[in-house]
Amino acid sequence: MLTTPRLVAIALCAALNFAIGNIVYLIKLPIFLDSIGTILCALLIFPDRLAAVVCAFIAGFIAAILTGLVLNPFLPWFSLTILAIAIVSALLTGLAAETFRTRPLPVLPFFAKVIVCGLITGIVSAIVSAPVVVYLFGGVTGSGSTFVVAFFLKTGQQLLDSVVLAGLATDPIDKVLQVLLAALLYRATPREFIAMIAAPKTSPA
Amino acid sequence: MTPNGAVAFTLLVIVGALLARDVAGLLVILAASACFALASRCAIWSALGWSAGIVLPLLLFMSVVWVGIVGRAPHEIAAGLEGSRSAAAIHVAVICLRLFVIAFTVQVAFLHFAGWTPLRFIGALALPRTAKKLLVLTLSLIDTILQAVDRARTALIGAGLVTRRRSWRNLRHGWILVQTVWLTVITIVLGRTRDKWPVEDTLARLEGTLAARAVARLSATDFGWMALALAGAAMGLRSWS
């Protein structure tokens, strides 16, 4: 499963997750975009679903550990969310891989699939990350969604319910954007690179 | 101390911090972490500053939300009580101190090996061969990507497509920067895997280097620090109950 070209793809996607966080910081964008590499890794390896889940998770996890050492020590706590994103990407987003690479761009199917995959990824990620947000951060992570949490708490909702509802209100937007960027990067990736990852005759790591 | 010992110490402190429920318990665990920082003679002020830089904005934000807006602690909400701002403040203090302990310990353990090269550090970790290779490849590619980001960003600023500060232009053209970097890196990786690595026998050499750098999994010093972390965690639990 972990052939040398796939190891390279994992490393590349982990580095991409790390670097896009850096780009977002450099050009001061008000979004996270911390899972593009994870989604892209699943798309690159897609036809082999199990390998896609494993490789996408490893890419996301390594990026979280490295970002945890340098920028945000709390990111590795969201490992289960990374796993959930890897599973959704490998089982669902991967199904749209062919549409993402079709030329010329089929505008309607492309954006419809991006939105559906992004929304589902966002919903799953909001539900899976809620217990960590509640236990580790007490419901307040410092992101803009915190005020949504505060609103639900003020209306008498329990903490976990408030965090889940706030996540459901904000995560899907971020994830639609991430799936869109991953799909566009996948579209821009040279065929030669995808063939190298898929080739079964490569030597084992 | 070995890198494996540092990882084990950090994990034990983090588990202790997660189990501790009150400020006193967390302070005991922070003391154990501070002892490690002092003994390892790492840049303790740098670690304190880094951790404070991460936790202070959260403290401010949590205070606004819990003390200012909500006005009661989660357990009071769960019990359906009217609650008080002081209980909310204690909740914020516990959460922030826990986050500070985690951030500080991670940074102290990281700075303990500041003089080591990443290759030496990874080589000494008790990890499977493939995982070590993957970590080295990732670090190498991060360097490559960050250099590509620098070059592409400078070029795009020069072309007037993005700016150094927050702007709408960055939002509109940020994608060009991401795509430029991705294509640059893919080209580099294809070149390396197809031509450079086979010619230089890079992967075999890397494996040899990582195998040569493998050291003892845990030393006696490691066990000492792990015992201290365990004691801190136990005391933290005791003060909670």
Bridge partners (DSSP) of residue A204 are A3
ipTM at complex level: 0.85
Residue whose token pair is 């991060």: B142
Decide if pLDDT at A57 tops 70. Answer: yes
Task: Give me the pLDDT at residue B240, please.
Answer: 52
Residue B191, Cβ neighbours under 10 Å: how many? 11
Rounded to 5°, the CA angle A43-B153-A32 comes to: 50
Residues 6+ apart with CB under 8 A from B99: A74, A136, A137, B54, B55, B58
Mean pLDDT value across chain B: 88
User: Predicted confidence band at A29 (pLDDT cuts at 50, 70, 90)?
Assistant: low
In tens, the pLDDT along A154-168 reads: 887 888 998 999 889
Is the four-CA dihedral A36, A38, A40, A42 of positive or negative sign? negative
In tens, the pLDDT along B36-80 reads: 999 887 778 889 999 999 899 889 988 988 888 888 888 888 887
DSSP SS3 for B129? helix
Decide if pLDDT at B103 tops 90. Answer: yes
Q: Please give the Cα distance from B54 to B46 (Å, whole number).
A: 12
Chain B residues with CB-CB distance to A189 below 8 A: 182, 186
In tens, the pLDDT along A79-105 reads: 999 999 999 999 999 999 999 999 999
Query: Which among B91, B134, B179 has the least Cβ separation from residue A10?
Result: B134
Distances (CA, A) of B7 to B115, B119, B132, B218: 17, 16, 15, 10
Q: Which amino acid is located at A71 in the chain?
A: L
Q: Do B149 and A22 touch (CB under 8 A)?
A: yes
Q: Do A154 and B70 touch (CB under 8 A)?
A: yes
Decide if pLDDT at A30 tops 70. Answer: no
Task: Give me the pLDDT at residue A12, please.
Answer: 93
In tens, the pLDDT along B12-44 reads: 999 999 988 789 999 999 999 999 999 887 778
Angstroms from B145 CA to nearest CA on chain A = 7
Q: Please give the Cα distance from B99 to B103 (Å, whole number).
A: 6
**Which range among A137-151, B124-138, B169-183 has the greatest average pLDDT?**
B124-138
Tokens of B171: 């939002």
Decide if pLDDT at B153 tops 80. Answer: yes
Chain A residues with CB-CB distance to B58 below 8 A: 137, 140-142
DSSP secondary structure letter of residue B178:
H
Angstroms from A126 CA to nearest CA on chain B = 20
Biggest alpha carbon distance in chain B? 72
Q: Is A190 left (phi over 0), alpha (psi -120 to 50) or beta?
A: beta
Answer whether B220's CB lies under 8 Å from B2's CB. no
Tokens of B197: 């690595």
Decide if pLDDT at A143 tops 80. Answer: no
Answer whether B8's CB lies under 8 Å from B222's CB. yes
Decide if pLDDT at A203 tops 70. Answer: no
Q: Please give the Cα distance from B146 to B151 (Å, whole number).
A: 9
* Mean pLDDT score, A60-87: 91
Q: Do A12 and B134 touch (CB under 8 A)?
A: no
